[in-house]
Copies of this chain bind each other. A is one copy, B any other.
Amino acid sequence: MESEVIVKARAAHEAARQLAAAPTELKNRALMYIADALEVHRGDIMSANEKDVDRARAGGMGEAMLDRLSLTEARIKDMARGVRQVVGLEDPTGICLDDWNRPNGLHIRKITVPLGVVAIIYESRPNVTVDAAVLCIKSGNACILRGGSESIHSNMVLVSVLKEGLSRAGLNADGIGLLENTDRALVKELLTLRDYIDMAIPRGGAGLIRMVVTTATVPCIETGSGVCHVYVDKDADLDMAVRIVENAKVSRPSTCNAMETLLVHQDVIRPFLQKLMLVLTEKQVELRGDNQACAFDDSIKKATEVDWGTEYNALIMSVKTVSSLKDALDHIRRYSTHHSEAIVTNNKKTAELFLQDVDSAAVYVNASTRFTDGFEFGFGAEIGISTQKLHVRGPMGLTALVTYKYVIHGQGQIR
């Protein structure tokens, strides 16, 4: 007997052909129907979600996680609003990226087209179900969704709502497939199904991402994990540096674009920490420093080798003193996850050297790392943040969900 994965992936692969040919107007109509259906069926969605939340609470899930799992009436309204916003975005397909004639008369066009079937592997947040599916539809892709078992009831209802929208627009509802069996073995099957899956995107913690990247034989995008650095140079405006460091660490420590390690030039370590500690103590941030940082204040714990490579996702940060720009760059090269790094300096030459050498998706001068985000970049959507270098890097908007093909017109040319 064929597995759920094969059956649904094959059906999605078939549906992808129709979705790829669907005009923008039709895809947008499906999205409007989905937004409406989310509101109409909000009662069903909340009841299903209640089952998930009850079970998770009984299983001992913490309050922060329970909050992420919960769907309230307001959150469902937000989801529907999000879907309607996607309607307003430009269709990423059918765009001519390049166009030229060859001496032999061939006319070559490079035109964006959907990828085909996108697999999204994610954890407990049920809003990813709607986000991911909607961006796939807009870009003409079918999708296979594999969410966490904690949110399975919510996801089943949400996917039936999504399918209703597709069907009402006359599109094949197989274009969205949810794996209802959340057995881990099926994920492996999904990630090696090269005949039907064109791209896999993990969304979740470091463990999930590592599993997807090392298991997949289908092309996949490494996303998310961020050991981000802020380097406060000797030529920094120290007040600006305090504001940036505070924001990068405190504004939302659980996100991948939050800062984990602060690097400070030795020439300014004392005056800078003096200013910074006033703010961070109040915000209850734990600091773990090297010897020079620890010498400054008893409250700073000693950092270990493990600290430099840790994404805390919490109100903890490591602090290292560096003797030069080169020293800072070497540290970043060793411990960075290639996500986002920032320098605070008023020295243009130093800034240029930093921008050149740092090998990360987003490199900042005098701004917080927290801006690495599809909405903050102005993409109007985000399906994740790529920390790899192939296909797409940094915040992934709708254009991350397309490839291109060469369309060539001739008049009988042979070679």
Interface residues of A in 201-221 (CB under 8 A from B): 213-214, 217, 219, 221
Contact partner of A357 (CB less than 8 A), chosen from B21, B240, B412, is B21
Instruction: List residues of chain B with CB within 8 A of the CB of A21.
Output: 356-357
Q: Does A362 contact B (CB under 8 A)?
A: yes
Q: How far is the CA of A244 from the CA of B411 in the complex (A)?
A: 10
**B219 with A367: CB separation less than 8 A:** no
Q: Does A90 contact B (CB under 8 A)?
A: no
**B406 with A362: CB separation less than 8 A:** yes
Instruction: List residues of chain B with CB within 8 A of the CB of A247.
Output: 414-415
Q: Does A116 contact B (CB under 8 A)?
A: yes
**A414 with B115: CB separation less than 8 A:** no
**B412 with A244: CB separation less than 8 A:** yes
Q: How far is the CA of A361 from the CA of B403 in the complex (A)?
A: 10
Segment of A56-64, A289-297, A383-391 engaged in the interface with chain B: A383-391
Instruction: List residues of chain B with CB within 8 A of the CB of A108.
Output: 377
Q: Does A333 contact B (CB under 8 A)?
A: yes
With A251-B415, A412-B243 already in contact, the answer to whether A393 and B367 are too (CB < 8 A) is no
With A367-B413, A412-B237 already in contact, the answer to whether A391 and B394 are too (CB < 8 A) is no
**B251 with A371: CB separation less than 8 A:** no
**A414 with B365: CB separation less than 8 A:** no
Q: How many residues of A contact B (CB 8 A)?
A: 67
Which B residue sits closest to A219, measured CB to CB?
B390
**A406 with B361: CB separation less than 8 A:** yes
Q: How far is the CA of A243 from the CA of B415 in the complex (A)?
A: 10
Q: Does A408 contact B (CB under 8 A)?
A: yes
Q: How far is the CA of A213 from the CA of B218 in the complex (A)?
A: 8
Q: How far is the CA of A376 from the CA of B413 in the complex (A)?
A: 12
Q: How far is the CA of A259 from the CA of B360 in the complex (A)?
A: 42
Q: How far is the CA of A199 from the CA of B376 in the complex (A)?
A: 29
Q: Does A368 contact B (CB under 8 A)?
A: yes
**B412 with A370: CB separation less than 8 A:** no
Report the minimum CB–CB distance from A287 to chain B (whole Å).
20
Q: Which of A108, A251, A390 has the largest count of B CB atoms less than 10 A from its CB?
A: A390
Report the minimum CB–CB distance from A328 to chain B (whole Å).
14
**A393 with B403: CB separation less than 8 A:** yes
**B198 with A389: CB separation less than 8 A:** yes
In the assembled complex, 20 residue pairs joining A and B whose CB atoms fall closer than 8 Å, in A order, are A17-B333, A17-B357, A102-B377, A108-B377, A199-B389, A244-B414, A247-B415, A355-B407, A360-B405, A366-B410, A366-B412, A366-B413, A367-B411, A368-B413, A370-B414, A371-B413, A377-B406, A393-B404, A394-B405, A394-B406
